[in-house]
A and B are shown apart, each in its own frame.
Chain A
Amino acid sequence: MPAKKLTFEKAVSRLEEIAEKLESGELPLEESLKIFKEGIELSRWCSQVLNQTESDIKKLVKLEGKKFKLEALDLEAEDEA
C-alpha cells in the first residue's frame, strides 16, 4: 500500500499527476516504470476505498470537558421520541 495517512483526495490527484507525467512522455524509462507501478497501486487502493461497505449514521455526544463520543443513531426511534 502506498504512503500512510493517504486520503482519497490525495490519491486521486497523485494519480492524475502520474497520468499526465506519463502522457508527457518526457520521463526516463526507468522513472516512468516506477511511477506507472505507483499509479496502478493507487488506482487499486482507490477502488478499494470506493467500494467499502455502508457505514452507519452516528450521533455526536459531548461529554465532560472537551471529550466527545459517537453513539449509534436510530432515526426511527428519534421519530417516536
Chain B
Amino acid sequence: MSAIYSLPMKELLSQVKIYSVWELTQEIKSTLDQTFPPLWVEGEISNLSQPSSGHIYFTLKDESAQIRSVLWKNIALGLPFRIEDGMHIIVLAKLSVYERQGNYQLYVEDIHPVGIGRLELAFQQLKERLYKEGLFDEEHKKPIPKFPQRIGIITSPTGAAIRDIVKVARRRFPSIELILRPVRVQGEGAAQEIARAISEFNQFKDVDVLIVGRGGGSLEDLWAFNEEIVARAIFSSRIPIVSAVGHQIDFTIADFAADLRAATPSAAVEMIMPDRKELNKEIRNLSQRLFAAQQSMINSYEQRLKSVLTSYGLRRPADLILQNRQRLDELIRQIAVATSNLIQRAKQTFSTTVGKLDALSPLAVLERGYSVCYKLPERKIVKSAVNLKVKEEIETLLWKGKVHSRVQTIYPE
C-alpha cells in the first residue's frame, strides 16, 4: 500500500479507477443484493419509531450486533399484530443499502413473533388494547331481555350454527321470530360483513336481541370474530348482542365485547330463549298463587268478621240493654214498694178520717133507725105533716135504701 502513496499523484491517478460516492454505493448495493437473496433474520426490536408517514423504522439486534430495519406501511398494515420494542421476532427481509445515508439495512417483508403464533399475539394485543380502552367494561353491558319476541341472527346461512339455532328455538319457544342476516363468517372480508350486518340490524331496530356467531373451527377459521372492526360494531350496537362462536372453551374478542357470551350457537338460544314449558309452569304457578292469596284473604276477612261479631265492642250494646233491663226491673220494684206504702198510708189516714166523719154524718143517724122524708117532685125535706097533702108523693131515705110512697092520711098534731 505504502508503495502506491510514494508514486507521484498524477501517475497514480492515471493508473487507478476512481469511483464517485454514488458509483461506489451502487457497487455495494448490487453486491449486497446479489449476494443476499431475501433471508430470515432473528433478533429483538429496539428503537422503534413510526413517523407520520406510517412507515416503521427499528433496529434488529442481538447481544453482539445490530442492523437497521425498515417496515413499509402497507406491509405493516397487513400484519395481524402490532410490533413493539423488545419483541423477539424473525423477519423475512431483503438486505440492501440506503444510499442517502450509506447504511445497509433490512427491508422487512414479513414478521413472525418468536415463541407465540402471529394470530395468538394479535389476539392478545387487541384484547389488551380494547380492554384498556374500556370496550369490555361491565358498565357497557346491556341487559338481555328476559322474554325476547324477535331475535336477530348474524351467521352463515349454510353453516351448522343457523341449523342448531333453529332446532333449539323450535323446541324451546316456537312462536319467537327468528330473523337471519346472512354473512360470510370466515375468509377475507368476513369481519367487515359481520360488522355491517350488526349496523344494519341497528338501523332496522325491530329485534330484541342479536346472536352473532358461527360453529367451531380453528383459530384461523374464527379469526373474523377476533377482528377489531367486529369488536367495535358489537360495542356500539344499541341492541344487546350475544356472541356464540365455536364449540370450544376459547374466547374470541367478540365474546369479550358482547353483552353475553355463549359457548356455542345452541347455547346462545338456550340462554336467551325461555323454555315454553317452564314458562307455562311459571304462569300456572303464578295464577295458583293468585287464587291461594285470594282465598286466604277471604278466609282472613271471614275470620275478622267473626271475631268482630263476638268482640266485647259489639257485645256491649246488648249487655247495656240487659243491664238497663235489670235496672229497670229494680226501679219498677222500688216504685211498686213505694207506691204500696203510700197507698197503705193513705188508706190508714182515710179510715181515721172517715171514722171521725162518721160521728158527724147524717148517715150515722140513719144507721141508728132515723129516716129522712122528701116531698116530691122538689125533693124538699119534710119536717112537719102539715106541709103535705093527701095523694102527694114522698121519698123516704133510710139507712139502707129509700122508699117511694103516696100520702093517704095526714095526722097533724
Contact = CB atoms under 8 A, between A and B. Distances in A.
Interface of A: 7-9, 12, 15-16, 18-19, 22-23, 25, 27, 29, 32-33, 36, 39-40, 43, 46-47, 49-55, 57-60, 62, 66, 68, 70, 73, 75, 78-79, 81
B149 A40 contact: no
B290 A18 contact: yes
A54 B178 CA distance: 11
A39 B293 CA distance: 12
A53 B176 CA distance: 9
Contact of B157 (A12, A49, A68, A75): A75
A70 B290 CA distance: 41
A57 B175 contact: no
Contacts of B293: 19, 22-23, 25, 36
Interface string B240-284: 000000000000000000000000000000000000100110110
A40 B174 CA distance: 24
Given A46-B283, A59-B181, A9 B147 contact: yes
Contacts, number: 113
Contacts of A27: 297
Contacts of B145: 9
A68 B152 CA distance: 13
B178 A7 contact: no
A55 B282 contact: no
B290 A55 contact: no
Report the interface size class on chain B. 35 or more
A12 B147 CA distance: 10
Given A59-B180, A75-B163, A75-B166, A43 B279 contact: no
Contact of A16 (B162, B200, B280, B286): B286
Contact of B177 (A49, A55, A66, A79): A55
B289 interface: yes
What are the nearest 8 A-B pairs in CB distance? A22-B293, A54-B174, A43-B287, A52-B175, A78-B157, A8-B147, A19-B289, A60-B181
A23 B291 CA distance: 10
Contact of A79 (B158, B166, B276): B158
Interface string B160-186: 001100100010001111111110000
B204 A57 contact: no
Given A23-B289, A40-B290, A50-B283, A58 B201 contact: no
A25 B296 contact: yes
Contact of B179 (A32, A50, A58, A62): A58
B290 A29 contact: no
Nearest to B277: A50
B307 interface: no
B147 A22 contact: no
Nearest to B165: A57
A50 B329 CA distance: 75
A59 B180 CA distance: 5
A49 B33 CA distance: 76
20 contacts: A9-B146, A12-B146, A12-B282, A12-B286, A15-B286, A25-B296, A25-B297, A39-B287, A40-B287, A46-B283, A49-B175, A50-B276, A51-B175, A55-B176, A57-B178, A58-B177, A60-B200, A62-B200, A70-B179, A78-B182
A24 to B, nearest CB: 9
Contacts of A55: 174-178
B131 interface: no
B350 interface: no
B300 interface: yes
Interface string B286-316: 1101100110110011000000000000000
B94 to A, nearest CB: 45
A46 B284 CA distance: 10
Contact of B203 (A25, A59, A68, A78): A68
